[in-house]
Every structure is written in C-alpha cells, then in structure tokens.
Chain A
Amino acid sequence: MIQEKLVCTTCACLCDDIEVEIEENRISKIRNACRKGSSLIYASQSDKRHASYLIYGQKVSQDEAVEKTSRLLNQAESPLLFGFDNSTLEAQSTAIELAEALGATIDDTSSFRQGELVQTILSNLNPTCSLDEAKDADLVIYWGSNPYHSHPRHLSHFSYYTHPKYEEAGWFPESRLISIEVRDTETTEICDKSFRFFRILPGEDPDFIASVLAIIEGKKGREDAGEFLKSIKSSSFCVIYAGPGLDYSLDGEYQTFNRMVNRLGECTRIAVIPMIDPYNMRGFNQLLFDKTGFVNRVNFANGASHGLEFSFLEQVRNNVPDCILIAGSDPLSSLPDSLVKNLGDITIITLDPFLTATTRISDVVLGIAVSGLETGGNAIRMDGTEISLNRVISTSIPGDEEIIRRLLDMVKR
C-alpha cells in the first residue's frame, strides 16, 4: 500500500491536503476529501467509466479518432471550441493555440456565469486577495452562494473556521459571517447565530446594491442595506465570496457592484473572490485574458474579436458553428430543449473522461485521463493562485493536453 497526497480537482477550491491510499494502482481510501471530491475520485476508477474512442458510436483506435477529429475540424467553415474548464493550464493553452490555428471561436462555461466578474478582477476593477490572505478576514460575506453545497470544505478549510482568532471553547467567534441569500440554507443558519443573514428576493440584488451606494452618498436607502454597510464599516478586513446567485441577478452588469466595492474599500480593506465551480475556469479565463484581453467569447477568424455573438449559447441559437469540439463539459445536461434541438445539425466532438449526455450525441468521442489523478499539470484556484496537480495513478489513457497537442500538430500540417 502506498500513501500519496493529491490535489482534488472537483471544484475550484483545489484542496491540496487530500491523502489517498493506493493498492495495486487503485485508490482504496481517501482522507480529507468531501463527498463530492471522493465521488469523483472513486468514479474515475469505476468499471463503468468510459475511456475509449468512438466514431458514430463505433469503437475505433486512438489514431483513427484523432485523425477523424482533425479532418472534421479542418473541413469546418465555422468551428467552435467549448469547455476546457476541467482541463489543466497546459491543455487550455494548447486549446487556445488550436483555436488560433483554426480561426475558430473559443468559449467556456464562464460565458454562462461569473465570466464578467472574473474579467473585472483580472482588469483590476475589483480588489481581490488569495484564499490564504482571506483567512485573516474578520468579516466573511457569501453573496448568492451556499458553499455547503457547491464547495463543501470552503468554510472549514479557507474562510470562517480558519480565522486565527476563531476559538470554539470560548463560544465567541471573532470571525463574523454574512450571507445574502434568497432562501434559508446551511450557511444562513450560521449567520443567524453569529451575525447576520440578509434575505433578499430573487433578482433584488441590483436594488440592494443601489441602496448601499445611496446610503454611502448620504441619501436614504433600504434598512437592511444600512445594516450591511454598518457591518462592513465595523470590520477591518472583509472578503466577499461572490456566487452565481449574484451573477444571475446582475445578469453580468457589474458596474454598480464594482462602484459599491470600491466605495466600501474607502472605509475598510475589502476583497472579492468569485465562487467558481469548475476547477480551472479561472485558469482558462486568465490565459485567454493574457492573450486577448477578454476572458471568454473570442473569435480568431480575423485576429481576436470578442462579443456576445461568440458565446456558446448565441452560436448554437443562431446555428453558426458547423463543428463543435467540447472538452470536459456537458452542456447538453444544462441547455434548454430549444437549443439542444439545434445541436442535432452540428458535428460534435467530445473529449471527456466520463460518459455524459453530450458524449451520447457526439459524432466523435475521445476518452481522456482525469486530470489531477491520472495526469499532472497546473491549475488556477478560484482566487488566482497557481496549484500543481500530481499524477497518482498510472494509466495508458492520454490526457487532454496530449490529444489537443496531436490535433494542433495535424491541423498545422
């Protein structure tokens, strides 16, 4: 039996204290990983796992599948590359190169949610900090996010319980927690006891933010916004963990939110960290931002152009792409029926370690290794910190980087 440490790649927390026991190249025990993390690790060694190469549902060799994929991509007039949020930085970088070589459109799941927030952070419009620095925050705010469901170890490993002054024996936690939510959740239960829970109606976030701004400017505003402002002013370091609830409510319009954060920054130290779900969405956003100045929705047909029309949803809605390469994402499970119908006319190529709804309708399926487990690399955590992933299980299945690199070489030829 061998004991190894690994980084969990289930969510963007990238917990790096996971210990596994390995017997005969199979993981037999996992310590410290939450239920989501353990499920992914055990699922990766399930007998039912799909890790083969299929063309129109027929098993083929790896070479045949890669060749067919490169041919389809080359023949496509308007190819679209989508996903890569569950790929390593190396694979993402190669994918961006592939998009450039093909003159294709490239997009990821951040175009559905939180892309705009990451864009504001990367553009220095919002202050941020690392999760290690955030441990010192004496006011933690979860806005539109219930970490117990999305990132189960967030409170115990990174935020509320990790505050140096948090003393359980004293029953007077120094670290305070605020949740801005539309419903009662496990997170709001803590707020009831220790500090505040601001219940707002779905879609009411812009009104709440406007109220906070109004009160800062000496005008009248909502009572709860006044309480919220008072709490922030009384703290010395406040971290806002912005979740998808805030994003959906603002509909990507972060101007007033940025203004509020910057005005609050005049009263106290403040930082915003996005509660990202896919483990390396931030990495994809960072790489594309460094190259083009935009985090998603980029088209390389004539240089790098950006716009809403290049988002995966708009592309599919308007039947623009004739071939889509999807990596590590399952859009079919979340898209509305009206858009799924459009996918029927498009050639779909999928790179995925597991069998998903999208692989079932794909023309070509390329089974890949699970990154952080069967293949190493690097990834960027939700706070922008780069983390190295170890390979703990040896497998003959290639990683996504290897497949995309082969595709890139073939396309360049």
Chain B
Amino acid sequence: MPGRNSTTRGRDELAKRERPQPLYLFQMLPRTNCKLCGCKTCMAFAFSLISRDKKPEDCPPLLEDAYKPTLDQLKEIFGGDVEVNPDTGLLIEEDKCVGCGDCVVVCKKAITTMVYGGMVVQREDKPMVLQVVDGTVQVVNWRSCKRAEDPPDYCRVCEEKCRFGALELVK
C-alpha cells in the first residue's frame, strides 16, 4: 500500500480500537423492524448488541446468504466470549488489557473527589473498584463505583482513560 510505513501504522492500529456507535450498527442491519429477534425495532437490536444482551446471530434475516458479509463483520466486532459485570455494566476484554493500571488510578481519584460549585472537593475514602489481578484489570469492589450510588452517577472515566479499548461500559 503506497505511503504505508511505520509512521502511519500507528494511526491504523489506534483506529481499530474505536467503538461502534448504535447508528453505525443500525445502518448495517436489515432495518425492516421485523421483530423476529424479540426487539421492537432494529435500532433497539443495535443497542442490545452493544449491551451484549443479544448476539448478531439472534437476528434471523442476518442468517440469510445476502447478509453473510454483514454477519461476519458484526461477529468480528462482537466476537469472543466476554462477560459483562452485571452491577456496573463494565465489560473487560482481557485480551486487550495490558495491566497499565491507568483506569485503577483515575477511578480511585473519581470516586474520592467530586465537583461542587466549580471546585474539586474531597469525598470520604472508599475501597477501590478496580484492581489489576494476574496482569489484567478486574472489578474487585463494585459497591464503590459511582454507578452503584443512589442516585447513580453515570461516570465513564475508566472507559475514557483506557488506551487499549479494553474497557467498555455497555449499560
């Protein structure tokens, strides 16, 4: 490929880590709202794919020959057995995690501080939500997560700070 060298390769690899957006997935689907998958609309099915409640194979029209390339593409995006933490909605792809601990540090900062009147104020200390165990990050104390508070605070700092796309908040 012309112009492909070690300098451009970095950008290509980083681009692969970008997450699919619901609208992007919706455009890939048949868009017939046939309800055969159990969802009311194809848009709802796109959201269910992201939250991992549904798999691409759950859409019967996608199993037809005409949609085989789409199905393969969706399987590539949502392939692999991954487990979503039911309490925080955090999906950790262990294959991508390098255990750098950025998410652990920023999460600890996020749960122990809050913005009040434009100022950062300290909150009470809490046990950390995430920890690197055996080289990859794991949820060790979901009760400390801002999403477990009442009312929940839909914080996404761990996902935003992961440079490898290993963390995804799907709920």
Listed in ascending order, the chain A residues whose CB lies under 8 Å from chain B are 29-39, 42, 148-149, 152-153, 155-157, 161-162, 166-170, 182-190, 199, 201-202
Contact = CB atoms under 8 A, between A and B. Distances in A.
B109 A189 contact: no
A34 B133 contact: no
B110 A168 contact: yes
Contacts of B100: 34, 148, 152-153, 155-156
A155 B135 contact: no
Contacts of A183: 6-11
A35 B113 contact: no
Given A152-B100, A183-B9, A170 B131 contact: no
Interface in B142-171: 157, 163-164
Given A38-B135, A39-B135, A169 B101 contact: no
B145 to A, nearest CB: 14
A36 B100 CA distance: 10
B34 interface: no
Interface of B: 6-11, 14, 97-102, 104-106, 109-110, 113-115, 120, 131-136, 157, 163-164
Contact of A157 (B101, B115, B133, B135): B101
A166 B109 contact: yes
What are the 6 tightest A-B residue pairs by CB atom distance, in nearest-first order? Answer: A38-B135, A183-B10, A186-B163, A34-B99, A35-B135, A184-B10
Given A148-B98, A167-B120, A161 B105 contact: yes
Contacts of A162: 105
Given A148-B163, A168-B109, A34 B98 contact: yes
Contact of A30 (B114, B115, B134): B134
B163 to A, nearest CB: 4
Nearest to A169: B113
Given A161-B105, A169-B109, A189-B163, A34 B115 contact: no
A31 B109 contact: no
B106 A35 contact: no
Contacts of A168: 106, 109-110, 113, 157
B30 to A, nearest CB: 35
B126 to A, nearest CB: 13
A39 B11 CA distance: 28
A393 to B, nearest CB: 17
A168 B156 CA distance: 11
7 contacts: A32-B132, A161-B102, A161-B106, A168-B110, A168-B113, A169-B114, A188-B10
Contacts of B10: 183-185, 188
Contacts of B99: 33-38, 152-153
B120 A152 contact: no
Contacts of A167: 109, 113, 120
Q: Which of A30, A36, A149, A152 lies at the interface centre, i.e. has the most chain B CB atoms within 10 A of its CB?
A: A152
B98 A156 contact: no
Q: Which of A166, A168, A182, A186 lies at the interface centre, i.e. has the most chain B CB atoms within 10 A of its CB?
A: A168
Contacts of B110: 168-169
Contacts of A35: 97-99, 135-136
Contacts of A188: 10
Nearest to A184: B10
A141 to B, nearest CB: 18
A29 B14 contact: no
Given A38-B99, A148-B163, A161-B106, A33 B157 contact: no
A235 B106 CA distance: 23
A21 to B, nearest CB: 10
